[in-house]
Structure 1
Amino acid sequence: MSHPQHPADPGTISTAPNSPDGTVRLTVGQALVRFLAAQYSERDGTRQRLIPGAFGIFGHGNVAGIGQALLQQLEDPARGDGAEDEAPMPYYQARNEQNMVHTAVAYARTRHRLQTFACTASIGPGSTNMVTGAALATIDRIPVLLLPSDIFASRAVDPVLQQLEDERAADVSVNDAFRPVSRFFDRIWRPEQLIPSALAAMRVLTDPAETGAVTICLPQDVQAEAHDWPLEFFRERTWHVGRPVPEPAALQRAAAVIRGAEKPVVVAGGGVVYAEASEALAAFAEATGIPVLDTQAGKGALHADHPLCIGGVGATGNDAANTLAAEADVIIGVGTRYTDFTTASHTAFRNPAARFVNLNVKAFDAAKHSAEMVVTDARTGLDALREELTGYTAPAAHGERARALRADWEELVAPCFAPHDQELPAQTEIFGALNELMGDTDVVINAAGSMPGDLQALWKARSPQQYHLEYGYSCMGYELPASLGVKMAAPDSEVVAIIGDGTFQMAPQEIATIVAERLKVILVVLQNHGWSSIGALSESLGSQRFGTKYRMRDESSGKLDGSTLPFDIPANIRSYGLEVQEVSDTECFREAYRRAERSAEATAIVVNTNLYGPHPPGSGWWDVPVSQTSRLESTQRASAEYEAARAPQRHYL
C-alpha cells in the first residue's frame, strides 16, 4: 500500500517572499505539470520520479492547456515563487494515441510498476484512441496516467467540435468510455477539484493491489483557466510502495493445506516479476522441492535452467507443465490472476481433489478458485511461507517426475528449431535462433497471434526481464510501441520486438518516434502474408482459414483468394529512415541479427516465413465455441470435437 510523504519531510515548500498568502497563480495545465514533476515513488530504499515524462499529441483541447504547460516549463523552468525548482518534465512526441499508452505501459512494466508516463491527447478521437490502451493497462494491472481533453465546462460552446450530445445528461462526453477501463476516473470541472483528484490518482498509481489506468479528464477551458494554488500542493511527495506481509493465521492455514500435498505445483505469475521476487521463488522451490509452472507474465521468474522450472502452463503451455497441472492436488498460485489461458479454460487442473492456495497482493485475485487466500506481496509472502513450511518437502518422486517430463518435452520440440524441408523457415526456427543469440538481460517483446503460444511453449527465459509478453489483453499493435517504452526503461539492454506482418500493418507509426529519439531497438518482422494464429484457429473450428490470408480479390470468384498482396514491408520501413535487412532462412537471420546487434541505430529484420509452421504440439485447450449447426462438414466435425474437449471443464470449487 502507498502512503504519501509526511508534510514535515524535507521536500516541503516554504512560503515564498513574493507569495505572502502562500499561493502561486497558474493555469490548471501548468499546475498539473508542476505537481507531477514533484511526485516520487520508493520501494526498498530506492526512490525515483514517479512520472519521468509525458507523451502527447496536441490538438484543440490540450494544445493551449497541457501542451502550453509542458512548453513553458521547458522554455522557462524558473518558477519565480521562491521555491526550489524541479527539473523540467521531458515531453515525447508520439504518432498515435493508442501507441503512446502502450509505450507507457511497457515502460512501467519494465520498471516493476514503480514509474510510468503521463499521456495527453486532444478532445474527441484523440482521447478515445487511448481507451484500448487504458483497457490493456487495467487488465494487466500496470499503472499509466491518462489526461484526455474534454468538453467545455462552462458550456459557452455547446456542442463543441467532436462533442457527443447525450439527450439524457449534459455532463456526459465520449470520455465516459474510460470509466469501465480505469481504476480511477475523474473529470475536473473546476480548478480546485484538481487537488484531491491528483492526490487520489497518485495513490492508485502506486498501489500494487489497485493500479491500472488512471484517467483525469480535463475540459479544454479548465485546462487554460488560472487559479491561485497553495504552494503546499507542489511540494515533493514520496509515495512509499510497501510489501504487505501475510496475516499469520492465513499463512498457517495455507501451510496446513500444502503439508498434506503429494503432488503440489507452484504457478508463478507476473506478480512475482513485479515484486522482484525471483530469488524468493527459487529459495521456496529449493526448500520445498515443489515444481514451478509459469504464466505468460511470470515466465522468467525462475531461471529456465533451474531444475524445478517446468515452463508454461495452460492453453499455450507445454506437455510437462500441463501433465503436472492435471495431476496436482495443491496448486500454489503466486501473483497470478488465472486467466483462461492459464487454466486452459478451466480444464488444466483436473484432479477432482485439487485445492488452491493463492498468494496475491490483491484480495480479488487471492480468493479465486475457492483458494486458501494469503493477501501479501509476492516476495514477503514466499519468504514467510517457506519459513512456515520448515520441515516439509514434496515427495522426491514428484520432483523426479517433473524433471523427466521436462526432458521429454524438450526432446519432443527439438525439431521445431531445426531447418525443415521447406522453402521458408518456420517462425519457431527464428525463435530458437533468437533465444540463443540474445543475452540474459536483453528483452524480447510480443503480444498477439500465434507467436505467444510458440514462445510460451518454447522460450527459455534466463531472467525476469528477458521475456516481455503482453497476453492479458493480447493486443495486436502493442509490440512496436512497447519496444520504445522498454528501451527507455532499460537503455543498456538489446530490445527486440517480434512483429507479425498483420500486427505491423496495424501500428507501425512509432517507428518515427524511435528514429526521432535515436533509440536503438531491433524490429523482427515475420512476414507470412496472413494471420497465422487466427488462421490456425479458424481451421481447427471448421471455418477453413476464411478471411485470414492477405490476398487480392479474385474477380471471377468474388473471393479474397487471388494473388498475394503487393505490400512491400521493407520499403515501408525504410521510408521511416530505418536500415532494413530482408532474409529467408535461419542462418541469414543469425548473421542479420549480429549486424543489428553491432549497430548503434535501430534496425529492422524482415523474415519471410512459412505460414503453416511447424509449431509445438498443443497440450492445452481454449474454449472458443463452435457453431452448433452447420451444412459445412468441416464445422460439423469441429463441433463434435469441441463437445468432447470441454467435457473436463468445471468450476474450481
Structure 2
Amino acid sequence: MTVSQALVEFLAHQWTVDGGHRERTIAGTFGIFGHGNVAGVGQALKQFAVQDPALMPYYQARNEQAMVHESVGFARMHRRLSTFACAASVGPGATNMLTGAALATTNRLPVLLLPSDTFATRVADPVLQQLELPHDAAITVNDAFKPLSRFFDRVSRPEQLFSAALGAMRVLTDPVETGAVTISLPEDVQAEALDVPLEFLADREWHLRRPAPEPEALARAVRAIVAGKRPVIVAGGGVVYSQASAELAAFAEATGIPVGTTQAGGGAIAWDHPFSLGSIGSTGTTAANRIAAEADVVIGIGTRYSDFTTASRTAFAREGVRFVNINVASFDAYKHGSSLPVIADAREALVALREALAGFTTPQEYRDEIAGEKRAWDATVDAGFIDRRLERPSQTEIIGAVNAASDPRDVVVCAAGSLPGDLHKLWRVRDELGYHVEYAFSCMGYEIAGGIGAKRGADDRDVIVMVGDGSYLMMHTELVTAVAEGIKVIVVLIQNHGFASIGHLSETVGSQRYGTRYRYRDDAANAFDDGPALPVDLAANAASLGVSVIRVEQTPNAIADLGAAVAQAKAATGPTLIHITSDPLLFAPDGEGWWDVPIAEVSELATTQAAKADYDRQKARQRPLLG
C-alpha cells in the first residue's frame, strides 16, 4: 500500500469508547487537492470510494481554514469523541489551516490536520510553493504548525507512518492533551509504497479516561466549601464535554450553591434553573457578577479561567477568596495559584462532591439573595427583548426575537464581534448542547463553517448561525458547501455596516470608532469615519451562492418579520440566510463586567485622556487571585 492508502484505512478503523458508547474517532475526511496531495491522499480517497464507499466518507470544502472550523464545530457537538481529518496541499493550502489549528488547540477540541509538505528527497528543490530559507534547509511552512498543535510529526520516511499515526490518535482521544493534531506528509512520501502489518489496519479502540478525584484532594475541597458562607460555581466547557450537566444541576439543588457559566460552559445548566446566575465575567450578568464579587469560595469546574471569565481578574474581589479548581488537566486545575486543585473528570468529581457534602446547604439569606439577583437580571433581559418597533432594531431585540422563535434543542452558533458578548448575557439556553459560541480564539469567519460542522454533528437539531457583516465577509464561502450537500443551516446575518464590537471598544479606549466603519475612504482625513454606508448587498451575495434568502426590510415591523423569517427558515429543507439591519449604537444591558484593554499612557486626544483616567480606576480593582 502507499503511505496515504495505509493512513486512510487506518483512520477508518479507529474508535473512541466512552463507557458503553462507541463511535468513529475520525468521522470523515475533508480535502482540497493540489499537486502536493492529489496523487497521495487524494488518490487514496478515490480508490476507497470506488472499492468501499463507506470506509472513509469524503467531503469538500471551499477554504482550508473553513474545513478545520467545520471539524471543530462537529467535535464540539460530539463532546470531543469524534472529529474529522483535513487534508491540504503544499504551501498556501497547508498554511491556510494555521488559524484553524490555533482555534482547535485554544478551545481544547480535537481535529486531525494532514498538510502536505515538500519533497522529502529534495530531488526537485525548490518545488512550486516551497518556502526557501538560506539558513535552514530543513524548515518548511509546516513547521509553523508546531506551536499551534498538541501533537506534530513529519513522515519523512514511509516507516514513520506507524508511530506518527498512533501518536496522533493518542492525543486526539485524550481529554487532557487534545487539540489540533498535525501529521505533515511530504508529497513524495505520500505516494511511496510500504508493507503494512494487518494489525495496523485492524479496528482499534481508544477508551476515554474519566479520572475520579483523589480522596485527599476531595477532602481538602470539601473542608474549604463547608467553611465558606458564599460559595459560587464557575462552570466551563468541561461540564458539557463530560456530560455532567445533570450532575451539576443536582449538585446545585442539593447544596444551594449558584452557578455562573463561561462561554464554553453555556448550556451546562438551563437558564431558568433556580441556581443559574447566567454568564459570568466580562460578558456576564449582574446576577453572576454581583454574587461573584462577594464569593469566598470559587468552585471552578472544567474551566480554563480566561480573562473574560475572571473579568480580567476583577470579578472575584473578596479578600481571602479561595479557588477549588476541578479539572481533568492539571494545567488548568492549578491556575490562580490554587492550593485546592482537584484533578478529575467533571462528572466524576460532582458525584463525589455531592456525596461528601451530604447535609450541607448554603444559608437561607444567601439563597434569597441569589433568587433576588436572578429575578432582577431576568427582568432586565425581558425589558431589553421588548419590540420597540424600530426600523433598525437593537442587537438585543434581534437576539430576543431569534431566541423566542427557536426550539429548546436548537443550537446557536457564533464566534466574534459584539454578538458573543450579547449572546452570553442574553441567550436563554435550554439544552446542554444548545449554545455553541467559539470564544477561546474568537475567530472571525468561524461562524458559518462552524455552524455547518455543528449541523453535521447534530442533524436532528436546527442550527442557527448568528453573524455580523464583518465576520460574514471574512469567510462565507462555505455556504456553497451547505448548498452542495443540502445542509439545513439557518444564518441570521446582522448588517451594521462595520465592526460593531471593536467600534464600541474603540470608543471606550478613546479612539472614537476609528477604522471600524464600512465607509468610503476620505483621503484628506486618512479615515473611513464619515459618509454614507457602502452599497454592499450581502443578501444578494448569499443568493448568488445558491442559498435561499429572506430579507427583513427596515420597517417598524422588523422584529416581528424576523420571528416569522426564523419560523420559515426552520420549515425549509436546505440552507437559509436571513438578512436584517441593526443599529450598532444601541447596546445590550450592562452586566457590570470589565475587560482589561490597555490605554495609551500619553495622548494629545482628550477622549484618550479621559479613557485612561477611567482605565486607571478599573485597573486598581485587579488582584493576583492567589487562592
TM-score (norm 1): 0.94
Query: Aligned-pair distance for 1:48?
Result: 0.8
Query: Aligned-pair distance for 1:563?
Result: 2.2
Query: Aligned-pair distance for 1:559?
Result: 3.1
Letter of the structure 2 residue corresponding to residue 409 of structure 1? W
Correspondence for 1:360: 327
Is contact 1:315–1:621 with CA below 8 Å preserved after alignment?
yes
Query: Aligned-pair distance for 1:242?
Result: 2.3
CA deviations 1:138-193 (Å, max 9, x no partner) are 01000000000001100101122121222232221011111011000000000110
- State how 1:122-521 maps to structure 2 within 5 Å: 122-371=89-338, 372-420=340-388, 422-521=390-489
Correspondence for 2:603: 630
Correspondence for 1:108: 75
Query: Aligned-pair distance for 1:76?
Result: 2.0
Secondary structure (helix, strand or coil) at the match of 1:228 reads coil
Is contact 2:104–2:110 with CA below 8 Å preserved after alignment?
yes
Secondary structure (helix, strand or coil) at the match of 1:322 reads helix
Query: Aligned-pair distance for 1:55?
Result: 0.5
Distance 1:555 1:282 in 2: 58
Query: Aligned-pair distance for 1:489?
Result: 0.7
Find out whether 1:563 has 2:550 as its counterpart.
no
Distance 2:401 2:61 in 1: 32
Distance 1:94 1:378 in 2: 35
Correspondence for 1:535: 503
Q: Which runs of 5+ in 1 are unaligned?
A: 1-25, 78-85
Distance 1:476 1:383 in 2: 38
Query: Aligned-pair distance for 1:554?
Result: 3.4
Query: Relative to structure 2, which stretch is displaced further, 240-249 or 136-145?
Result: 240-249
Query: Aligned-pair distance for 1:556?
Result: 5.9
CA deviations 1:536-577 (Å, max 9, x no partner) are 000011000001110012366453223211111111001111
Is contact 2:115–2:182 with CA below 8 Å preserved after alignment?
yes
CA deviations 1:463-514 (Å, max 9, x no partner) are 1111100000000100000111111110010111001000111101100100
Secondary structure (helix, strand or coil) at the match of 2:26 reads coil
Distance 1:472 1:520 in 2: 26
Distance 2:465 2:291 in 1: 32
Query: Relative to structure 2, which stretch is displaced further, 433-442 or 210-219?
Result: 433-442
* Cα RMSD, aligned residues only: 1.1
Distance 2:515 2:446 in 1: 22
Letter of the structure 1 residue corresponding to residue 46 of structure 2? L
Letter of the structure 2 residue corresponding to residue 486 of structure 1? A
Gap change, CA 1:551 and 1:44, over 3 Å in 2: same
Distance 1:415 1:407 in 2: 12
Distance 2:20 2:138 in 1: 44
Query: Relative to structure 2, which stretch is displaced further, 408-417 or 473-482?
Result: 408-417
Distance 1:246 1:617 in 2: 38
Distance 1:44 1:230 in 2: 29
Is contact 1:113–1:142 with CA below 8 Å preserved after alignment?
yes
Secondary structure (helix, strand or coil) at the match of 2:195 reads strand
1:579 counterpart (548, 559, 562): 548
Distance 2:364 2:446 in 1: 43
Is contact 1:140–1:473 with CA below 8 Å preserved after alignment?
yes
Find out whether 1:49 has 2:15 as its counterpart.
no
Query: Aligned-pair distance for 1:413?
Result: 3.2
Query: Aligned-pair distance for 1:435?
Result: 1.4
Is contact 2:4–2:191 with CA below 8 Å preserved after alignment?
yes
Is contact 2:151–2:171 with CA below 8 Å preserved after alignment?
yes
Secondary structure (helix, strand or coil) at the match of 1:597 reads helix
Correspondence for 2:6: 31
Query: Aligned-pair distance for 1:422?
Result: 4.1
Query: Aligned-pair distance for 1:527?
Result: 0.3
Query: Relative to structure 2, which stretch is displaced further, 595-604 or 270-279?
Result: 595-604
Distance 1:180 1:377 in 2: 26
Is contact 2:37–2:116 with CA below 8 Å preserved after alignment?
yes
Correspondence for 1:76: 51
Letter of the structure 2 residue corresponding to residue 590 of structure 1? G
Secondary structure (helix, strand or coil) at the match of 1:239 reads strand
CA deviations 1:513-548 (Å, max 9, x no partner) are 000111111110000101100000000110000011
Identity %: 55
Correspondence for 1:81: none
Secondary structure (helix, strand or coil) at the match of 2:152 reads strand
Distance 2:523 2:316 in 1: 50
Find out whether 1:651 has 2:624 as its counterpart.
yes
CA deviations 1:620-643 (Å, max 9, x no partner) are 110000011111100000011001
Correspondence for 1:553: 521
Is contact 1:37–1:87 with CA below 8 Å preserved after alignment?
no
Query: Aligned-pair distance for 1:396?
Result: 1.7
Distance 1:555 1:469 in 2: 38
Find out whether 1:616 has 2:584 as its counterpart.
no
Secondary structure (helix, strand or coil) at the match of 1:179 reads helix
Correspondence for 1:15: none
Gap change, CA 1:643 and 1:597, over 3 Å in 2: same
Query: Aligned-pair distance for 1:431?
Result: 0.6
Correspondence for 1:64: 39
Equivalent pairs counted in the alignment come to: 620
CA deviations 1:400-440 (Å, max 9, x no partner) are 10110111112233332122364311111111112122111
Query: Aligned-pair distance for 1:265?
Result: 0.2
Query: Relative to structure 2, which stretch is displaced further, 431-440 or 115-124?
Result: 431-440
Is contact 2:251–2:354 with CA below 8 Å preserved after alignment?
yes
Letter of the structure 2 residue corresponding to residue 531 of structure 1? F
Distance 1:276 1:599 in 2: 31
Query: Aligned-pair distance for 1:652?
Result: 1.0
Is contact 1:416–1:614 with CA below 8 Å preserved after alignment?
no
Is contact 2:70–2:450 with CA below 8 Å preserved after alignment?
yes
Secondary structure (helix, strand or coil) at the match of 2:551 reads strand
Is contact 2:64–2:94 with CA below 8 Å preserved after alignment?
yes
Letter of the structure 2 residue corresponding to residue 48 of structure 1? E
1:121 counterpart (71, 88, 94): 88
Is contact 2:271–2:428 with CA below 8 Å preserved after alignment?
yes
Letter of the structure 1 residue corresponding to residue 499 of structure 2? W
Distance 1:240 1:442 in 2: 30
Secondary structure (helix, strand or coil) at the match of 1:215 reads strand
Letter of the structure 1 residue corresponding to residue 438 of structure 2? E
Secondary structure (helix, strand or coil) at the match of 1:643 reads helix
